[in-house]
Amino acid sequence: MRRRSLSAFAFVLVMVLMLADSRVLFAMEENIVNGNTEYEEGTSEQETDEIAECIEEEVVTSENCEEETQDDTENEDKAEWKEEVEDSSEEETAEEVICFPGVPENFSLSEMQEERKILAAHIEDTGAFEEDVACVAGEILVSAETEEEARIYAQAYGGTLKRYVDSVAVILLPEEGDVTVQAAVFASLDEAKRLPVAWPNAYYYIENEAEENIVTDEATEFEAELSSVYDDKYLNPIYSEYQWFHHVIGSERAWRNGYTGAGIKVAVLDSGVMLNHEDLQVRGTSVLEDGDAKDILGHGTHVCGLIGATLQNGVGGAGVAPESTVYSIKVTDENRVTADNLIAGMQAAKHYEADIVNISSASPYYNALIEDRIKVLYHSGIAVFVAAGNQGTNAYTYPAACEGAIAVASFNEATQPSFFTNYGKMIDYAAPGDSILSTVNDKELLYGKKSGTSSASPIAAGSAAVVLQYARQKGLIKKEATSYDVDLLVSLLEKGAV
């Protein structure tokens, strides 16, 4: 789902973001499975000669092979080369030496043919298997219709079922034998091994470029034309920490016309929220094992404030949709989110009947299980806004580039693309993301600035909540929405309907 019916202003912004023609891909380690045979140390002299002869047959003629195997010096060179190949290929060929049990003979995997093709098509995207960095060490994700089926799949890999969430099995690989995520994923491509298709439990990193806590709230030389309109301090331009983005996107006009996001539910999949913050009225929940919705990282509190911070309460600033109902669904305690927690978060958003979902995290690697859940939300009429990433390239990031997602880029106060924002064909919408003031989880300061597409995405999501309220009141979009209504919502958002 890619949309291009932009208003004149948004059209210029997105066209600037799409200037580059070629795609700059994330630097990633190539993980190519070769056909080298792995040999054990302690090989006999006769076996060594046979091995050397086999290796030589692949690169020279049989005649040369016979001549060179008679030369002791050449044999030593080949033995040394063989040892280097063994060392360099040990991880790349792990799937050839690791034997997974596989599913029982009477168990059919025919329904996974299409998913296997998808994995094969994206194997370069999923090819960075640096455990604890690109993905969770020793864990894979597998589609399973039932928990019983999930346990069978876990046994197929010789592992154990760690978690079953939204038809996805989180499988712990066996610790014995140095079984890697890469070995399991590549093995699942081979139908003969009778394994369900495996995906890494990838990490999606929080997309923040910089942050700055407020150290002063002194009045500036700005004219105080709006100073008497609102009693929220940071809505007034006389303060240096003024929330400039409201003026750019037209929040004040929408509020004056009665459009504040009332009646719209927005789910924030992030690091939780400071529930007792003076400027927030947010419903907090968590998909993590401890069930604690508290925000340790501080990122989720900032995102929630950009959407739903209270208007006209005499403190702080305001969210774009101050009367929307915000659900903070905690999916991480760190600056990265695991794929299974992101899936659980999307399931929770659907459970709470959210109209809009915001995800401010990203990875360079594709995962079909994540995309499937986003498509479910999209076809259910739920708009999913996702930060496009802060690498400053036209590289695709996920889940922003997933079908059904709305990828959000960032621009600054001069309405120019932020220096950090990703751009290109992936982008659906652009919103303010530079030096954005919102709520933070600091009990003393309470407010602070952050920059990044992590801020641009919730501002876009808040704007969508305001437009959706308008569209429902005008009868343009019904509550029982579909993907058509999501597309219409984005079109109205781009046109500045409110």
Residue 360 structure tokens? 């401010």
How far is it, in rounded angstroms, from Cα 389 to Cα 423?
9
Residue whose structure tokens are 């994330």: 26
- The tokens describing 224, both together, are 């105080």
Catalytic one of 454, 455, 457, 463: 454
How far apart CA 349 and CA 351 sit, in angstroms, is 5
Q: Is 143 a catalytic residue?
A: no
Instruction: Please give the biggest Cα pair distance in the chain.
Output: 96
Q: How many helices (H) and strands (E) does the chain have?
A: 15, 16
Q: Give the ranges where 390-482 is alpha helix by DSSP (H).
A: 453-473
Known catalytic residue: 299? yes
The sign one gets for the Cα dihedral 171, 175, 180, 186 is negative
Beta strands 135-143 and 168-172, pairing class: antiparallel
CA angle 166, 401, 289 (to 5 degrees): 30
270 is catalytic: yes
How far is 488 from 475, CA to CA, in rounded Å? 12
Q: Quick check: 309 and 319 in contact, CB under 8 A?
A: yes
In terms of DSSP bridges, do strands 325-330 and 283-286 run parallel, antiparallel, or are they unpaired? parallel
The catalytic residue among 89, 143, 188, 270 is 270
Single out the catalytic residue among 279, 286, 295, 299.
299
Distance of CA 70 to the CA centre of its chain: 57
* Residues belonging to the active site: 270, 299, 454
